Amino acid sequence: MSRITTFILLGAGAALTLAGPAAGQAHHGSPSGGDAALIQSAMSAAPAAVSQGATVVAMGADGQMRTVRPGTNGFTCMADNPATPGPDPMCMDANAMAWVMAWVARTPPPADRVGLMYMLAGGTDASNVDPYSERPTAGAPWVQTGPHVMVVGSQSLLANHPSGPTPDTSQPYVMWAGTPYAHLMIPVR
């Protein structure tokens, strides 16, 4: 998931500061090349059938979300977050966006609104247990997940899936277990 990251926090309109990449890690894709590059990065997050009709948003230097391209299908896509050490563009449906907004506001997510997020380019997270961690704890690695989808807003779906600080990202696992923002990560390799 890539920290539905500080990038999502910003992308959802929160005024949080982006964390820099881990020491020795390179930035992967602050798309330089204008809106066309932002759209290309954002569209890589989901199947073409979803991303072609999705709204694409980007953050301005002032922290305001800007619509780069309006959409028609209820999905919103964002380009790669340059603050993480790996590529992590994402697309989410309206229910997932409502879940993200609750996470940003640190309020309970909407009940009974299951949402879907695509991250087909993979993702990199600072923590699998702390939804607000911006960097791994000293000596801990970034949690790197390959192409995956996330299901949010369904606590019952999480039963019988493993969780913890160092998940096996090759199988479904729970991120941020024990918090209101726990969700299922499902690899799609």
- CA-to-CA separations, 165 to 77, 103, 139, in angstroms, rounded: 28, 20, 13
**Predicted TM-score of the model (pTM):** 0.81
Q: Is residue 60 part of a domain?
A: yes
Looking at residue 112, what is its pLDDT? 86
pLDDT at 5 over 50: no
Q: Is residue 110 part of a domain?
A: yes
pLDDT in tens, 141-188: 899 999 999 999 998 999 999 999 999 999 999 999 999 999 999 999
Share of the chain above pLDDT 90, in %: 59
Q: Which residue has the higher pLDDT, 19 or 69?
A: 69
What's the CA gap between 140 and 127, in Å, rounded? 9
What type of residue is 90? M
Residues 3, 123 contacting (CB under 8 angstroms): yes
Residue 174's domain comprises 6-187
Q: Is residue 54 part of a domain?
A: yes
Q: Is residue 52 part of a domain?
A: yes
Domain count, the chain: 1
Q: Is residue 1 part of a domain?
A: no
Q: Which among 122, 123, 130, 140 has a CA at the least distance from the CA of 22?
A: 140
